[in-house]
Amino acid sequence: MSSRTVIRGGLVITASDEVHADVLIEDGRVAALAVPGTQNWSADRTIDATGKYVIPGGVDAHTHMELPFGGTFASDTFETGTRAAAWGGTTTIVDFAVQSVGHSLREGLDAWHAKAEGNCAIDYAFHMIVSDVNQDTLKEMDLLVEEGVTSFKQFMAYPGVFYSDDGQILRAMQRSAENGGLIMMHAENGIAIDVLVEQALARGETDPRYHGEVRKALLEAEATHRAIKLAQVAGAPLYVVHVSATEAVAELAKARDEGLNVFGETCPQYLFLSTDNLAEPDFEGAKYVCSTPLRPKEHQAKLWQGLRTNDLQVVSTDHCPFCFVGQKELGRGDFSKIPNGLPGVENRMDLLHQAVVDGHISRRRWIEIACATPARMFGMYPKKGTIAPGADADIVIYDPGAEQIMSADTHHMNVDYSAYEGKRTTGRVETVLSRGEVVISEREYTGRAGHGVYTPRSTCQYLN
C-alpha cells in the first residue's frame, strides 16, 4: 500500500538552495516540492513545519559503534548509537568495519554486518579499516568496492595495532587508484609519537594533558604531507580524517591548490573543544582524549576558515564513546592507556547549527558539510544528503529558535558524560523521518531497531 506524507510551510534548505516549499513524500522517497499552499496533495500524514527548517537528514561519515579499542569496547552499540544519531538529526552513518591483523577483510566486514543488522534505527554503510596489507587483502579490496564498500581507512598511527608502513600504504593506494576506492588516512606519525610517549612517561608525565603534548601538531602535519605525496605517487585520491592542526590544514590547502584530489574532514570536538579541556583537573581531562588530539584554541580559527574555503569538506563526529567510569579510568596514572575517542553522534547537527548562529558558516554550508558532501564523498548522493525528487525521504524538521543545554542527563548516547556538558545552543531537532518513516516525532522517539538498512555505496562522487 502506498503511503503519502506532506511537510507543509517550512524553509527547505539544501547545500544549493533555500526555498519555502511544501514537500510530498511517497513510499519513502521525496516525490515533489511545490510553492507553499499551491498543491492540494492528499496525504496520510501532514506535518506543519511553519517557522521551521526542513533539512536533509545528517550523514555522519565517521562512527565507531562497538569498536574494540584500547582494551575495551566503544560503549554505544549499533542500536543505542543509531537511536542517538536519530535524536540528533542524523539519518545515515558510515561506520568502520575492522580487519584484524592475520585475518581477511571479508571476516571483518561479516563481523560488522552481524553487529549492525536488525539493530539500527537509521540507515548505515561501512568503510573498511585495513590493518594488514598483503596480496590477498589487495585482491579483496577490489571485491569490496564492487559490493559497495568503497573506502578504506589506513593508519600512520598506532604501531602494533592498526598501523601501516609507507610501503603498505603505497600498495593500498595503488590498488585504490585502479579500483576506484578512496583511501581515508589517520595522519599522525605514530612511530615518533610512541618515542615521545615513552619519554613523557619516564619523566612522570602521566596526566591526560600529556596526550595532547606528545601527539604534536607537527607530527600530524608531517604525516598529512607524507600521505599526500604517497597518494600523488600512486595517482590516487586521498581523504584525511579528523584533521585538527592548523599545519595539517595548510598541507591540504597546498595540495588542493595544486589541483590534487585531496580532501579533509574535521570534527566538532576540534572546532569547539581544546587542550584546556584535556587539562581539566582530577583526571577529568581523560574525557577529552582522542586522536588526533584536541589542540590549543588558536587552531580553531584555521579549521573554520578551511570549512569556509572548502580546504576542509566534511564534518563527521568520529563518534567513539567510552564511559568515564571503568573505561577512561583504565588510563589513570598512564595517559597512554586511556581509550581514545569522544562521543558526539547526537551533537553534530546542533553544534554546526550553532556555528551558523555564531557566524562561522552559512546555513547552506551547514547542510553541505554535514549532509551533501559526505553523501557525495562516499557515493550515496542524491539518495542521501539532499531533498529532491527521487531522494530518500531522510528529512529533519529543525526549530532554529529553540534553546537547549547539552548534557549527559538528557542525551541518548550510551555514555556517562557529555563532552559538551552545560553548553547552550540555539536550534533543536523536532521531527525526523528516515525513508519517510517518522522516527522522532516532536521530540519523542517513534523509531525502532531494525528500521535502518544497510546502504551499499558507489565510488566517490566528489573527484575533480
With CB under 6 A as the contact rule, the residue among 86, 217, 290, 395 that binds ligand URP is 290
| Least spacing, CB of residue 404 vs ligand URP, in Å | 26
Contacts of 204 (CB under 8 A, 6+ apart): none
According to DSSP, residue 372 is labeled I
Residue placing its CB nearer to Zn ion in the complex, 248 or 356? 248
Residue placing its CB nearer to ligand URP in the complex, 320 or 372? 320
| Least spacing, CB of residue 291 vs ligand URP, in Å | 4
Among 351, 364, 259, 348, residue whose Cα is nearest residue 308:
364
Residue placing its CB nearer to Zn ion in the complex, 162 or 398? 162
| Least spacing, CB of residue 111 vs Zn ion, in Å | 10
Regarding beta strands 238-240 and 182-186, do their DSSP bridges make them parallel or antiparallel, or are they unpaired? parallel
Helices 217-234 & 166-179 angle (0-180, nearest 10):
50
Contacts of 397 (CB under 8 A, 6+ apart): 7, 10, 47, 49, 52, 53, 54, 429, 430, 431, 432
103 contact choice in ligand URP, Zn ion, none (CB below 5 to 8 Å, kind-dependent) = Zn ion
With CB under 6 A as the contact rule, the residue among 318, 346, 368, 392 that binds ligand URP is 318
> Using CB under 6 A, which residues numbered 45 to 74 contact ligand URP?
64
With CB under 5 A as the contact rule, the residue among 318, 350, 368, 399 that binds Zn ion is 318
| Least spacing, CB of residue 263 vs ligand URP, in Å | 16
Among 314, 316, 344, 341, residue whose Cα is nearest residue 406:
344
| Least spacing, CB of residue 83 vs Zn ion, in Å | 20
Task: Report the b/e string of 348-384 with b at 16+ CB within 10 A.
Answer: bbbbbbbbbeeebbebbbbbbbbbbbbbbbbbbbbbb
User: Positive or negative CA dihedral for 194, 198, 203, 204?
Assistant: positive
> Using CB under 6 A, which residues numbered 241 to 260 contact ligand URP?
242
Q: How many residues bind ligand URP (CB under 6 A)?
A: 9
Q: Which residues pair with 6 in a beta bridge?
A: 24, 46
Compute the C-alpha angle 82/149/453, nearest 5°.
Answer: 35
Helix, strand or coil, per DSSP, at residue 143? helix
Q: Is 186 in the site for Zn ion (CB under 5 A)?
A: yes
Report DSSP letters for 206-234, one per residue: -STHHHHHHS-HHHHHHHHHHHHHHHHHH
> Using CB under 6 A, which residues numbered 178 to 197 contact ligand URP?
186
Question: Which grid cell sits at 271?
Answer: 572546532
> Using CB under 6 A, which residues numbered 15 to 34 contact ligand URP?
none
Residue placing its CB nearer to ligand URP in the complex, 37 or 68? 68
| Least spacing, CB of residue 229 vs ligand URP, in Å | 21
Residue placing its CB nearer to ligand URP in the complex, 64 or 383? 64
- With 0-12 / 13-18 / 19 or more C-beta atoms within 10 angstroms meaning exposed / middle / buried, residue 148 is middle
Residue placing its CB nearer to ligand URP in the complex, 49 or 323? 323
> Using CB under 5 A, which residues numbered 74 to 113 contact Zn ion?
103, 107
> Using CB under 6 A, which residues numbered 398 to 457 contact ligand URP?
none
| Least spacing, CB of residue 318 vs Zn ion, in Å | 4
With CB under 6 A as the contact rule, the residue among 151, 164, 261, 340 that binds ligand URP is 340
Q: Which residues bind Zn ion (CB under 5 A)?
A: 103, 107, 186, 318
Q: Which residues bind ligand URP (CB under 6 A)?
A: 64, 186, 242, 290-291, 318, 320, 340-341
